Structure 1
């Protein structure tokens, strides 16, 4: 199946349709993007003398959607060049071309009649065996294809991508009554392995899984708020990170989704369920429908539950007072429960701490949570076959850190059920029977295997975990840690491969991580075939420990800073010269020292969402852990022949590093030159460590030899002058400050190889000395220390 879908067609070029086409292009699948023929010419088309029959006019909607992909933020494409994989067309002229594709995805307006009519047209050109799916957020799959032929229905299913398709992991697959089970299994496999999605199998019920539970949760939150008089910001303080939920919490989420869209989704359940209690819950409150009537739809209309207002001091975000419908300054809620949740580590501990403090915010959290947990339990078997699918849907679709049943385990299953019943809530019989049988949780882990309740049998059943998914936490629970300290651990991931995992605060590189790298080299040399550098924290590594550097700089401990940087440099140098293969697997934020920990590796396998960059200039410094040296060496290698012009390559590096440019994806890191052509991008973060492990084994089997020492050809004094002249121009034009210019001059000196003649071959050690000297001199600058302090206290760069 992985190879059977080689080409696709997406019908509907709106935000969702073009986003799905973009993600197909991201993974290398050429795509036909179709939309209706416009009924009128634009002003520009009229000026050009075009007619409605012109092909450019007829396919304008799809063409325009493809052109916009490079302008949308966040970017739908891993690399803007991937837009060339999408071919625009229209439904009148190009629909017959779907006979040449392997998968047709309908993404038109959420209207049953419109979808039914389109599917009839698709069937006329359908090639038997081609997969056809609908990207609907809640319309019945069975009703949609009811008037199509049996063979067509066997190949038809729902594929509900979450928006934006590139970034949201969840993909709900919804089989119809007639969908071939084998097709469902093959599509699940394809969407996981090729598209990198987290797939759950949903039943054909209103709003499927994630939107059913998520909408219910948002509505009961609104109801509790209105009944008990909480403010918008109070509810968001309770229902965000304090409960293991995203920072957008309740009302920022609603503003992002769009209040009109949310009301439509809620109505879809209300109109399609028979249970009176559900109908009541899914009836949008008057305040919500009133806001929609006013045009207060959230971000897309400029105001919703929040309003961003410009002030003389900058801008201020106001919140809506639901009693007066006026926007007022936010009041930051404070309470013992919120503080307890803030101090706790991990979503389960945070939620437990929030519920345990016994104040009005704790009561609000419980009153919301208990209803969501019971409703989720009621829907097992109706919207999905397992608790795992519901949990995964909420984690992947709504970015909850724990799903409902995982949350229930975390707060204490038996105790919470007892409290729910004492408060008059009807807990589903299967939950009570499970607790009565002596079970304390819906999940359990034994010897590295995960089990969850199988509701139909009333017993635990092992959760299938693909071989391609390596879970470092599970391995650590199985006592696979070989060595470890406060900042990092070396873990045996099997087959003679070890993984070095960072786990310091924010994975910042300090003495503990450097020490563990050295110990790991010794251990792997003796007992393993090679090394993977990877972790499964939120971000791979945010850089070096600048708090330590700032303290030493303020105390004028220059010798100490020199030794810190020297140790960093030579630890990375030892990693590069190591006689066993090393593969780095960065993901999400990989900045500064994080990048420098990857540069010495024989191979980098980045996650698709890898935001990779040498950003030291943002804190008034330059890369000094081998970053400048490695990029200069790569420029020397790329330029090739001794008489080849090296300057353009160095100019590019100077601009990238000097502007602290960060990649927008793993593929973009290649375009920027941070990754080599030989480096790879994994299909998803889930399989990244497995792929890194396989790469280590492949290098070992091929007779690995360590990277040989090589001289660096540099542009020297002449090239440095070119770089510094460019920086001077930016300073004179007002683009950079005096201190930026000082940093740029230091960076130019290092990247150029100092004041030697152009074309001189220098050693890597010489380049490291240049890095360290420039870094030390900048540490002594008051404005650099101000930038470091500002980053530590404010979390953003200071322009001074």
Structure 2
């Protein structure tokens, strides 16, 4: 496959999805032009010409009657800075989005290698737009529609014949920064290499997980997912369950997104869900499940009332003050013959006996649910049965293999397992017989029989050779595109016999909380296995051993774990018995061991690379800071958060802030005021600022210019190992130990004055003032003259003394115990 360079991307349509797709391109350093309708300054503009919320109206119509020509796009880009969850890594990235309109700027398309159309779901508007942009497109450009369910083949017919081989569907899920799934859909005319090139770009550059779907209404994830939500709503009504109980049952307890079913609908938008349902109603009249696509009356009533979910302030749930209310559909007045419902306090949970069933292994779990007389258990069996039935009947139509369905449901709907995985884990033939029995008894949503291939003696659909494809009548292996060689441990389906990361490679050292191993004999990997990867004495011991081993026989050391936590910090709970027995004097030696380990990592004779994904807080942040290089997944959340538990950073974090301030001052001007450079680091630590992305973490100073941000989580280890090898090959050496200047007592006085104003103004508590003062003392070097030279060990001793003193402070103890008992910070 020839390399396809994406130098610039155009996004057509500045609505909810288009603007956020542009934002994610900006996050990933891809130049992007965002188009929408021009503003028509004339008086003839009418309300019908305004673009709908989905983004972008007909390109032949004016978008508004007032403002600058790019007003629609400008408003959308400005809105990105305020949207939650944040689509931009930092708000400043909005400036990377070039603003354009269809009337003045179509010539910009000539420089775009990829054009993503994301206007409203109107076939006529899309076709109109394609005809207009076609003459301006580069001959090599890929054109992709971000439709959520319209026929890609029909859309292709609007393009000149020469362009059709370079046209396909690309379906991002909302919000595109955070949702892993992207569905790619070919037409009969799409050249195979076009999808290969696009999959490579979307995977490695944008960090998304790709599933190739067939050109059927709503593709895979929305087809299966929305059908499942409709079935859940129907079965909830059948078994008389309230929306909060259903959400508790269908959330984390069932291995799905914590928002469950009804809250998910609220977040998506009830009108958006209804639109997806309407696509099924309009285009699937021959589907044996067609009757199940009827819009639930309660959903129709809410939409009619303008209760569209989270975006309108009310849907199945409503927040009043601090109280969360849930809809009781059976109460309230009648509206057009339907019960309108009213809101009552939410918070009902699943029955404990059912919650216990859901903790059992898959086979036992499904057997218990099916045989129980508890309505909640019967409800759960019903929706799982319906999911198995629906997925099996539609597999050949919508997807190339069972793996595509399972991945689509994982990545698009937040499930831990897709329907085929769960079915296989629970015992394929037994579950198949149960589903068949319910179909025969008229209990299922449809009378359609299970396909013959379900009963052909198989034990499942996922094998080490691949996943079952009814259309090919064989097991299909995963894609072998070169981009996937960068994923050393790609996410896989159960039954595929994929290697478990923490059992792979050659193990070199292990204790109860860390595994040190090598995948290739050249680079060592240290994987923390403690809960939340908390750093306790055993982890410290393991890291020291890893450095020692790496120095004696390896090119470098990578610190990496295969989940969403790099390290949530120090293991305070493990330290409490020591503290209760010996007080702060017992903690000080352990604290020094941790600090010494950080220095050992910094001055190791091989490069130590921290591969960060998810949380890197407190001691986890310090571990990253003392590494020679950091390779961070885009969704990394890095910060020194110790003040939340009434402490100061005690693993060298403050010493690092002081050293970096001295380095920045020296780089700018030998006589520069160090206080100017230490202020940001002090503020970050005193306010427990956490970067909400790797990009913001870099802005806060937790990542440096030489560090690497990786969009795809499964490429993190590959990139980190590559960095370690490259550093070793280029002759990397540890920095020389040398004292450095500090800001001194005058800077401490300045900071204390600012803190006193905040305390006196009621912005911080007296204890916050005390902790922040201690932080200032360390980062400024204590009671010394400005410019005095100190060592890291000197500052670490200051850290240690103040950390241990705070451990004995009653208000800090309140914060520690509050966090350990509730998981929430105590403000005192």
Whether contact under 8 Å (2:742, 2:781) holds in the other structure is yes
- 1:721 is paired with a residue of what secondary structure? helix
Q: Which residue of 2 aligns with 1:470?
A: 488
Whether contact under 8 Å (1:8, 1:30) holds in the other structure is yes
Q: CA separation of 1:374/1:134 partners in 2, compared to 1, >3 Å: closer, same or farther?
A: same
Q: Does 1:794 align with 2:810?
A: no
Whether contact under 8 Å (2:116, 2:146) holds in the other structure is yes
Q: Does 1:26 align with 2:10?
A: no
Q: Which residue of 2 aligns with 1:775?
A: 803
> Whole-Å Cα distance in 2 between the matches of residues 458 and 106 of structure 1?
35
Q: Which residue of 2 aligns with 1:280?
A: 291
- 1:378 is paired with a residue of what secondary structure? helix
Q: CA separation of 1:468/1:411 partners in 2, compared to 1, >3 Å: closer, same or farther?
A: same
Shift of 1:354: 7.5
Q: Does 1:102 align with 2:113?
A: yes
Q: Which residue of 1 aligns with 2:405?
A: 390
> Whole-Å Cα distance in 1 between the matches of residues 418 and 124 of structure 2?
35
When structure 1 is superposed on structure 2, of 540-549 and 394-403 the one drifting more is: 540-549
Whether contact under 8 Å (1:297, 1:303) holds in the other structure is yes
Q: How does 1:543-692 map to 2 (within 5 A)?
A: 543-553=569-579, 557-640=583-666, 642-692=670-720
When structure 1 is superposed on structure 2, of 506-515 and 245-254 the one drifting more is: 506-515
- 1:586 is paired with a residue of what secondary structure? strand
Q: Does 1:158 align with 2:144?
A: no
Shift of 1:427: 5.4
Q: How does 1:336-347 map to 2 (within 5 A)?
A: 336-340=352-356
Q: What CA deviation, in whole Å up to 9, does each residue of 1:570-618 have, x standing for no partner? A: 1222122221211001111211111011111110011101111001011
Q: 2:348 aligns with which of 327, 332, 347?
A: 332
- 2:826 is paired with a residue of what secondary structure? coil
Q: 1:482 aligns with which of 472, 483, 508?
A: 508
Q: Which residue of 2 aligns with 1:498?
A: 524
> Whole-Å Cα distance in 1 between the matches of residues 653 and 146 of structure 2?
44
Q: Which residue of 2 aligns with 1:188?
A: 199
Q: Which residue of 1 aligns with 2:326?
A: 319
Whether contact under 8 Å (1:553, 1:780) holds in the other structure is no
Whether contact under 8 Å (2:115, 2:144) holds in the other structure is yes
Aligned residues: 779
Unaligned runs of 5+ in 2: 44-61, 332-340, 441-447, 491-498
Whether contact under 8 Å (1:341, 1:349) holds in the other structure is no
> Whole-Å Cα distance in 1 between the matches of residues 365 and 529 of structure 2?
23
Q: Which residue of 2 aligns with 1:85?
A: 96
Unaligned runs of 5+ in 1: 43-50
> Whole-Å Cα distance in 1 between the matches of residues 360 and 595 of structure 2?
36
Q: 1:417 aligns with which of 432, 441, 445?
A: 432
Q: CA separation of 1:606/1:280 partners in 2, compared to 1, >3 Å: closer, same or farther?
A: same
> Whole-Å Cα distance in 1 between the matches of residues 4 and 189 of structure 2?
24
> Whole-Å Cα distance in 1 between the matches of residues 299 and 388 of structure 2?
24
Q: What CA deviation, in whole Å up to 9, does each residue of 1:395-418 have, x standing for no partner? A: 111111112222222222222112
Q: Does 1:366 align with 2:384?
A: no
> Whole-Å Cα distance in 1 between the matches of residues 526 and 354 of structure 2?
35
Whether contact under 8 Å (2:601, 2:626) holds in the other structure is yes
- 1:499 is paired with a residue of what secondary structure? strand
Q: What CA deviation, in whole Å up to 9, does each residue of 1:213-271 have, x standing for no partner? A: 10011000011111111111121111111111011010110110111111111110111
Q: TM-score, with normalisation over the residues of structure 2?
A: 0.90
When structure 1 is superposed on structure 2, of 30-39 and 768-777 the one drifting more is: 30-39
Q: What CA deviation, in whole Å up to 9, does each residue of 1:633-672 have, x standing for no partner? A: 1111111154222111111111111111110211111111
Whether contact under 8 Å (1:336, 1:357) holds in the other structure is no
Q: How does 1:717-756 map to 2 (within 5 A)?
A: 717-756=745-784
Whether contact under 8 Å (2:579, 2:586) holds in the other structure is no
Whether contact under 8 Å (2:63, 2:72) holds in the other structure is no
Shift of 1:457: 5.3
Q: Does 1:38 align with 2:64?
A: no
Q: Does 1:253 align with 2:264?
A: yes
- 2:548 is paired with a residue of what secondary structure? helix
When structure 1 is superposed on structure 2, of 271-280 and 54-63 the one drifting more is: 54-63
Shift of 1:362: 2.5
Shift of 1:688: 0.8
Q: Which residue of 1 aligns with 2:251?
A: 240
> Whole-Å Cα distance in 1 between the matches of residues 384 and 468 of structure 2?
21
Shift of 1:523: 2.7
Q: CA separation of 1:635/1:591 partners in 2, compared to 1, >3 Å: closer, same or farther?
A: same
Q: CA separation of 1:354/1:255 partners in 2, compared to 1, >3 Å: closer, same or farther?
A: farther
Shift of 1:675: 1.3
Q: CA separation of 1:90/1:698 partners in 2, compared to 1, >3 Å: closer, same or farther?
A: same
When structure 1 is superposed on structure 2, of 9-18 and 739-748 the one drifting more is: 9-18
Whether contact under 8 Å (1:591, 1:614) holds in the other structure is yes
- 1:585 is paired with a residue of what secondary structure? strand
When structure 1 is superposed on structure 2, of 137-146 and 274-283 the one drifting more is: 274-283
Shift of 1:56: 6.3
Shift of 1:64: 1.7
When structure 1 is superposed on structure 2, of 270-279 and 216-225 the one drifting more is: 270-279
> Whole-Å Cα distance in 2 between the matches of residues 104 and 378 of structure 1?
35
Q: What CA deviation, in whole Å up to 9, does each residue of 1:53-97 have, x standing for no partner? A: 999611111112122222222221223332222111211111232
Q: What CA deviation, in whole Å up to 9, does each residue of 1:649-704 have, x standing for no partner? A: 11111111111111021111111111121111112211011000001111121223
Shift of 1:39: 4.1
> Whole-Å Cα distance in 1 between the matches of residues 509 and 739 of structure 2?
35
Q: Does 1:404 align with 2:419?
A: yes
> Whole-Å Cα distance in 2 between the matches of residues 457 and 171 of structure 1?
23
Whether contact under 8 Å (1:244, 1:351) holds in the other structure is no
Q: CA separation of 1:538/1:683 partners in 2, compared to 1, >3 Å: closer, same or farther?
A: closer
Q: TM-score, with normalisation over the residues of structure 1?
A: 0.93
Q: Which residue of 1 aligns with 2:450?
A: 428
- 1:540 is paired with a residue of what secondary structure? strand
> Whole-Å Cα distance in 2 between the matches of residues 560 and 89 of structure 1?
64
> Whole-Å Cα distance in 2 between the matches of residues 536 and 57 of structure 1?
49
When structure 1 is superposed on structure 2, of 59-68 and 556-565 the one drifting more is: 556-565
Q: Which residue of 2 aligns with 1:48?
A: none
Q: 1:523 aligns with which of 530, 535, 549?
A: 549
Q: How does 1:157-236 map to 2 (within 5 A)?
A: 157-236=168-247
Q: CA separation of 1:41/1:509 partners in 2, compared to 1, >3 Å: closer, same or farther?
A: farther
Whether contact under 8 Å (2:564, 2:614) holds in the other structure is yes
Q: Which residue of 1 aligns with 2:5?
A: 4
Q: CA separation of 1:748/1:588 partners in 2, compared to 1, >3 Å: closer, same or farther?
A: same
Q: Which residue of 1 aligns with 2:147?
A: 136
> Whole-Å Cα distance in 2 between the matches of residues 444 and 542 of structure 1?
36
Shift of 1:41: 8.4
> Whole-Å Cα distance in 1 between the matches of residues 511 and 596 of structure 2?
20
> Whole-Å Cα distance in 2 between the matches of residues 517 and 584 of structure 1?
12
When structure 1 is superposed on structure 2, of 247-256 and 25-34 the one drifting more is: 25-34
When structure 1 is superposed on structure 2, of 491-500 and 288-297 the one drifting more is: 491-500
Q: CA separation of 1:7/1:56 partners in 2, compared to 1, >3 Å: closer, same or farther?
A: farther
When structure 1 is superposed on structure 2, of 322-331 and 769-778 the one drifting more is: 322-331
Q: Does 1:441 align with 2:456?
A: no
